[in-house]
Amino acid sequence: MRTRVRGYAVRVRVPVVLALVWALCSGALAQSRNLAPGFTRLAAGDKVVIMPVDVELFSLSAGGVAEPRADWTVSAQKHLDAALRKRMAGIKLDAAAMDEKGADEFAEQVSLHAAVAQAVALHHGLAGNWALPTKAGKLDWTFEDAMRPLRAKTGARYGLFLWVRDSYASAERKVAMVALALLGIGVGGGAQVGYASLVDLETGRLVWFNRLARGSGDLREEATADETAEALLSEFPSVP
Q: How many beta carbons lie within 10 A of that of residue 142, not counting itself?
A: 15
pTM: 0.79
Which H or E run contains 30? helix 14-30
- In this structure, which amino acid lies at residue 197? S
pLDDT at residue 233 in the model: 93
CB of 83 closer than 8 Å to CB of 36:
no
pLDDT at residue 23 in the model: 31
pLDDT at residue 186 in the model: 56
pLDDT at residue 213 in the model: 92
Which sequence spans correspond to the domains of the chain? Answer: 1-30, 36-232
| Contacts of 187 by beta carbon, 8 Å cutoff, 6+ apart | 64, 176, 177, 180
pLDDT at residue 216 in the model: 86
Nearest of 217, 237, 201, 116 to residue 168 by alpha carbon: 217
CB of 58 closer than 8 Å to CB of 167:
yes
Fold adopted by 36-232:
Double Stranded RNA Binding Domain (3.30.160)
pLDDT at residue 91 in the model: 79
> Using one digit for the tens of pLDDT, what is the confidence trace for 137-146?
999 999 999 9
pLDDT at residue 147 in the model: 97
pLDDT at residue 33 in the model: 87
pLDDT at residue 160 in the model: 96
pLDDT at residue 170 in the model: 52
| Contacts of 75 by beta carbon, 8 Å cutoff, 6+ apart | 219, 220
Instruction: Give residue 135's Cα distance to chain centre.
Output: 19
**Under-70 pLDDT residues of the chain:** 1-31, 62, 169-189
